[in-house]
Amino acid sequence: MPQLIQPQTALIYVMVTMSAVDRVMDDAEIMEIGNMVRYLPVFKGYNPEMMIPAAQQCADILDSDDGLNNILELISGTLPESLHDTAYALAVEVASANLNVKQEELRFLQLLRDRLHLDKLTVAAIERGAQARHRRLPSED
């Protein structure tokens, strides 16, 4: 089991795992992660230069035996319950960034919400909010 991490690093792991779970980290997802780290209040005081090393550590764990389970253990073991819905919301934002949520991403979201013990109403609200934020005008489809 990997060593314990800081809560902000756990949130980075959530976003990096969400982006990497389909084996393609596209530019839209990477930009979304960077923007959230720079502007969301939960990352206040976090040094954005630490994002790349954190992402690499996350990738190393994911590449190890039982990597996804280890990441989920780290996330659930690190984050206080008050940040469980935040972690899920960040994952949904990354998945929504390229407007194409893949099956692997849906599966990770399911694993994450189960591991963080999120109720269905909270999950539905987070997902619906992301849909609304990423919606385009009909002429842009």
CA distance 19 to 45: 24
The whole-number pLDDT of residue 108 equals: 95
> Residue 139: inside a domain, yes or no?
no
pLDDT per position as a tens digit, 64-104: 999 999 999 999 999 999 999 999 999 999 988 877 788 99
How many domains would you assign to the chain? 1
pLDDT per position as a tens digit, 3-34: 579 999 999 999 999 998 888 777 878 888 99
> Residue 141: inside a domain, yes or no?
no
What CATH number is attached to the domain comprising 38?
1.10.3680
The whole-number pLDDT of residue 124 equals: 96
> Residue 2: inside a domain, yes or no?
no
The whole-number pLDDT of residue 6 equals: 93
pLDDT per position as a tens digit, 35-56: 999 999 999 999 989 999 999 9
> Residue 1: inside a domain, yes or no?
no
> Residue 23: inside a domain, yes or no?
yes
Stretch 103-131: mean pLDDT? 95
Name, in order, each residue with C-beta under 8 angstroms of 80's C-beta and a sequence gap of 6 or more.
Answer: 7
Start-to-end CA distance of the chain, whole Å, equals 44
* 104: Cα within 13 Å, side-chain hemisphere: 10
> Residue 41: inside a domain, yes or no?
yes
Structural domain span for residue 130: 7-134
